[in-house]
Every structure is written in C-alpha cells, then in structure tokens.
Structure 1
Amino acid sequence: MSSYDFYEYESIAEKRDRAAIKRRSYQKKHPNAVPITINGNKIAKSFWGKAWCNHLKYYADHDNRVSRGRSYIKNGFVFDLAIKEGLVTGTVSGSGNNLYQVIITIDPIADQRLEEQINGHVESLEDLTYGKFPKALEDVFLTSENGLFPKMNEIQFSCSCPDSAYMCKHISAILYAVGAKLDSEPLLLFELRGVDTSALVKRSVEEKMSSLLENASSAKSDRIIEDDSVIDLFDLE
C-alpha cells in the first residue's frame, strides 16, 4: 500500500455488525462468557457507573488509548467480563481474528480507611443489607482519594496484546465495561475491593451501639451525682 492509499472507511454500524458476528462465534465456543454490550451512546447511566468511568483518566498514559477503549466497548468488542474480589478479567476482540486477554488486579481496601469514611452514616448502611448502594453515601464511597476507587498504586494491568502502553485500548475497554456493569450491580464495587458488606454493616452497628451505651452510662452517672446533691441540699435521708 502506498502512502496515498487509505483503508476503506467502516461505519459504526458496520463495526458493530462485525463485532456481533465475531461475538456469536466466540459464545458458541465459550457458552459461559459474559459479553458487555452498550445500548445508546452512554457507557454508564447510573451515578456510580459514571463516576467509575470518570475516574479512569487517572490511570491513562495515552489519551488516545482511552478514547479507543470507549469505542471498543460501545461497538461491542468486549466478549467476556468477570469481576470478583481483587480481580477483573476480560476478553476483547482486536483486529482480524485476534482476541486479547486482559487481567486487572486491585488491592483490597483497608478496613480502617473505609470505616473512617462511613463514620456517622450507620443509618444509610442499612441499604447494603438489602443489596442496594446507599445514595446518601455516594460522595463518601466514590471520592477519588479515600473512597472505594483504587488509587494508581493499588491497581495493576496486563494485556496479551503487543501494545507497550501502560493502559492499552483493550484494558481501557475492560475498565469501561466494569463501569457499565456497575449500573446494574453497584455492590460489585465492594466485592472488587474485598469488602464484606454484611460484616461492614454489623461492625458499624456494633460500634454505634457501643457509643450510645457509653453516652447513656455517662448521662446516668451525671444524673446520680445530681440526685446526691439534692439529698445533701435538703438534708434528706
């Protein structure tokens, strides 16, 4: 191909059709695969899904990889996604018949760090026991510095593609796929960071009750002192 030749333009619809054909073929061989497809122009629609996607800019070393990753997820090139404690794995379709394996490891969040963030919000944690993400704690959980999002030194990437970028377009696509998944399953964010939500709620409630009992005991002690003073004042036996 000469320097004046150009690749034939492929429309978005054509890209998606090509991805759908490859995805169906992949699923026949891997029936347990969980592909991620996007309806509409937005990858994530919920507060937590959007916040996750917005946070990805902190990991990128090349902006064009991020934009191409968005294109990959929107066009249906994420053929499989799995999320569990401390680990995200995925399969992304590349050019031709190439498939690339992405592995993302995330360090567990320190219990003390999380408990400091939720201190004073025990009532809102009740939603966690019903499998809901407490809206009142959105800002607490999703801050870039001390929330549930992994910091730069808490997340590691690897991809089987030849790209030397720290966060290639395939890794970017999988990270965006996580954001899309959080739309329907926001509590996966806790699982990903190694947080046992039941234990977190139980521990927070116990600490709250302990604090209330201490305050009640202190108030009772003050009341006893007041009663004794009254007896002395009126010389009562």
Structure 2
Amino acid sequence: MAKHSRTWWGQKFISALESFTDSGRLQRGRAYSGDSRILHFDITKGLATATIRGNVNPYFGVYKEPHYETEVKMTAIAAKDWTKIIANMSSKASVVARLLLNEVPENIEDSFTAVGKHLLPYSSKDFQTECSCPDYSNPCKHIAGLCYRLSGEMDQDPFLLFEMRGISKEDLQAELIKSPLGKALASELGDRTLEPEVATSYFTKPQTGAIKEIPTLKQFWQGQKRLPQAIPFAAPTSVSAIAIKKQGDNPPFWHKDSSFIETMEALYDRVKNKNSALL
C-alpha cells in the first residue's frame, strides 16, 4: 500500500495523529482522504477546512447522504518567537537553501527548540480539531481523513506547516531573503525573464567578404592549414545544483514514493559507468 505521505515531514505529521487516535478510526479515516469523499478542501490563514461525505445508514435513521464540516488547526507560534526562530534559521546556509528549494531540512527543529518551540506536531496539544458529525470521539474518522489529506498536501508544499504555525510562505521567505545568505541564494534561484527576439529565418545567414588571394584547387579542397591530429575535450559546463533541485525531491509531476532527485542521480550514474569505456 502506498504511503499517504512521501516526505519525512508529512510522515511526522501523521505519526503525531496516530499517537493519540484510535487505530480503527485511523483506518477508516484513510478512506475519507480522497476526492471521492472530500467535496471541498481549503487552507486559509492556517485553518484547514473540508466538507466530507458521510454514509447513508437507515439503521440509524440516516436516509440522505450527510455532509460534515471538518476543521483542523495547529497551535500557532507567537510573532515574537517567530522573529527569534527566523534569526536562527538565517544563520544556517543549509536551512535557508533547503527552505528556498521548497524542502524542509532534517535539522529544522534545531531552530525551534532554541526558543522552546517546535514546528512539527508531537501530541494532541498541537492540534485543534472540530467536526459536525455525531461521533463523540475527537478526532473522528472525518478529522483523520482531513489530516491524511493535509499530509499529502504538505508533500507538495511544506510551507503549509509554517502557515499552520502562524506565518505564511511569502512572509517567511521575505524574512529569509533579508539575510546575507538569503540574498545570495535568492539571486541564484531567481527566474530570469528573457525578452523574445524576432527571427526571420531558422538558419544562419551567410556573410560575404572580399577574397584577398584566390586559392588553388588543392588549397581550396584541403585547406591552407593542417587540421589538428587530436581534438581537445571541451571544458565541462558548470550547472548550478541549486537550480536543478529547485523543484525538490517530489515535484508535481512525480507520483512515486521514491525521491525524484535520487532516482535521476542513480540513472545518470548508471549511464556514466556504462559509457565510461567510450570516454
């Protein structure tokens, strides 16, 4: 069975939910995380809301399909604490680089624990959940389904974690870019807009010029200078690794559980070793 989350931060989010939720409700909640159950899903200012389809159950007098309104919110971090956390993150190149690449570095929590906070949830105290269903238990299967959906969304946009903790992606990146490290990395990652040039032909236009001396037939066909016996190798082109990793380990077009970057690195290494004898 495929994981509901492919990143370590998404799996950590689910692990916190599983630590205080009944296993039976969790199992049923997985079935409520797909589009067939979630009619509406939205995240605004750190509040995740969803309209989830329930079940018709004549035994309990439910003859019409019910729709339940579900909410999940994480405990926000105060603005004064965010100032300290961002200052700590801005001093670490690896943290700033990964965040600007839309990834969450493994040591991200170090910047939070320094001020007595944490980004990823650890217990029920980190969650505030509500559901309009009649289930007495909180979280219910609908809340569990919304949390599973959230973990999948966090794979594509890890900044949802920060948004649910009280700071938007735009505000966080704006603060990170103010630091010297952030400015350097932002200039490397910045998209360059090139103005289109009008082309009248797809082929290079020939250029004419005056001939100082008319060559002989031998010179014309064989050339006046001897061709080099060995062709020197061209210097390898330098490509920024940051630009290559801009989409992260799980870009939108990549639907497998494995990392896209690790898969491509393995492929390139295989091609390189296979053709090493030809170089």
Question: With structure 1 as the length reference, what TM-score do the two structures score?
Answer: 0.58
1:142 & 1:58 partners in 2: Cα distance?
A: 22
Distance 1:108 1:122, change over 3 A: farther
Tell me whether 1:102 sits opposite 2:77 in the alignment. no
Task: Look up the SS of the partner of 1:163 in the other structure.
Answer: coil
Task: Look up the SS of the partner of 2:133 in the other structure.
Answer: coil
1:66 is displaced (CA, Å) by 1.6
Counterpart in the other structure of 1:180: 152
% identical aligned pairs: 26
Distance 1:69 1:117, change over 3 A: farther
Distance 1:67 1:197, change over 3 A: same
Q: Which has the higher helix share?
A: 1
Question: With structure 2 as the length reference, what TM-score do the two structures score?
Answer: 0.50
Tell me whether 1:201 sits opposite 2:171 in the alignment. no
Task: Give unpaired runs (5+ residues) of structure 2.
Answer: 57-64, 183-279
Task: Look up the SS of the partner of 1:50 in the other structure.
Answer: helix
Task: Look up the SS of the partner of 2:50 in the other structure.
Answer: strand
1:41 & 1:71 partners in 2: Cα distance?
A: 13
Give, as a single letter, the amino acid of the residue that structure 2 aligns with 1:124: V
2:118 & 2:84 partners in 1: Cα distance?
A: 8
Q: CA RMSD in A?
A: 3.3
1:53 & 1:142 partners in 2: Cα distance?
A: 20
Counterpart in the other structure of 2:133: 161
2:98–2:104 contact (8 Å) kept in structure 1: yes
Alignment of 1:42-81 (within 5 A): 42-60=3-21, 62-73=22-33, 76-81=36-41
Distance 1:43 1:154, change over 3 A: closer
4+ residue runs over 4 A deviation: 138-143
Task: Give unpaired runs (5+ residues) of structure 1.
Answer: 1-39, 209-237
Q: Give the paired residue count.
A: 166
Moved more, 101-110 or 114-123: 114-123
Alignment of 1:1-237 (within 5 A): 41-60=2-21, 62-73=22-33, 76-96=36-56, 97-110=65-78, 111=82, 114-115=85-86, 118=89, 120-130=91-101, 132-137=102-107, 140=110, 146-150=117-121, 152-195=124-167, 196-202=171-177, 205=179
**Cα deviations across residues 31-79 of structure 1 (Å, max 9, x unaligned)?**
xxxxxxxxx632111222222212212342x332122112322584222
2:88–2:111 contact (8 Å) kept in structure 1: yes
2:86 & 2:49 partners in 1: Cα distance?
A: 28
